[in-house]
Amino acid sequence: MQGRRLRYGLIAAAALVSFVFLNNTNLFVSPSTQKSTLLAHRGVAQRFDTTRLAAETCTAARMIPSDHRFIENTIPSMRAAFDAGADIVELDVQPTTDGQFAVFHDWTLDCRTDGKGRTRDHDMEALRKLDVGYGYTADGGKTFPLRSAGVGLMPSLGEVLQAFPDKRFLIHVKGSDVDEGVQLAAFLAAVPARERARLAVYGGGLWRGNDAVETVKRLMPDVRVMPGAILRRCLTEYIAYGWTGLMPEACHGTLILVPINTAPWLWGWPDRLLERFASVGTQVFVVGPFGGEGFSTGVNTPEELARLPQAYRGGVWTDEIGLVARTLRGRSAQ
C-alpha cells in the first residue's frame, strides 16, 4: 500500500511538472512578427549621474557631458525622440494655478530653471517665461552649457497634444492627491475619444497607491492607467499562479513594467508571457535592472539590451532612445 501511494505521488508530481513546463515553454509559441514598442522616458534628455540619489538631489547639477542640446519634457526633445524611433514618449505634468498642466518634472523650479518655489504655485504664463535649461552643469557649476537655450520651452500638456496629434504619450502625474486626479480627468474628458485612446496615465511611486491615478481610473474608465498598487498586485499574483495560464484581474487593461534582470524568472518569458498579457489588453515594458535606482532607470546600454532575447517583440522603456532604436533595428535586419 505504501509503495502504491509513493508511486501515485511520483506520477502526480511528474504530471504537475510536465503541465507547468508545457504550459509555460515557448517551444509551441510563434514569436510575434511585430516590432518592439519603444518608450522614450522624458523624450531625448540630458543624462545625469544616478549614484546615491535622494529625493532632494538636483539632477541637473549632475549632468553628464552630452553631444546634443535637447532638454527633457520639451516639444523639441519629444520630436527628436519620435524621429529617433520612439513609439511612445513619457512626460511629467504638474497642475498650475490657472487650471492647466505644465509639462515639467520637478516639484520645485529651483534646480533646473531660473525660477523659484513650487512649480504648481505658478500659472502657465509665468512658467513659459522661464529658462528650463538654466541649471544644467557637468562641471560642478563652472559652466552652464544650456543656459538661455531653454527660455520659453516649458509647454502645457494641451500644447504637447496639439503639436503631436497622432502620437502616443504616457502621462506621469507628479502629485498624488484626489483633486489633481479630478483635474486631470476633466482635462482628458475634453480630449476627443479617438485622441484619448493614445494616452495612458501613471503616477507616484510605482509600488505604491496613488490617489490621483486611482481617481482618473474611476472617472475616466476608458483611459489606460498604471497605479503602483495595481502593478505590484499584478506581478505578485502572476508569480503566484500565472503558471496555470490564468491571468490575475489586476493585470487586465493596463501597462506593466518588468525589470530586465527579473524578467527571465517570470512564467512564460518572453513569448508566452507577452501573449498572455496581450490577451487581456495589457502591454509589457522591460525597464532597467531592479535595484537602488528603481523603475526610473531604463534599458540604456548595449549590455542591458543583450539580455533581451534576439526575437524579443515586447515594449522597451529607455532613456537612450537613439541607441536602443538603432540596436533593435539592427537586430531585426539580421
- Give the model's pLDDT for residue 180: 95
- Give the model's pLDDT for residue 292: 52
| Residue 283, number of CB atoms within 10 A of its CB | 18
Cell numbers linked to 311: 526575437
Could you tell me what percent of the chain has a pLDDT over 90?
73
Which regions of the chain are under pLDDT 50? 293-295
- Give the model's pLDDT for residue 334: 59
What pTM, to 2 d.p., does this model score? 0.93
- Give the model's pLDDT for residue 294: 47
- Give the model's pLDDT for residue 204: 66
Task: Give per-residue pLDDT as tens, 273-304.
Answer: 999 999 999 999 999 987 654 445 899 999 99
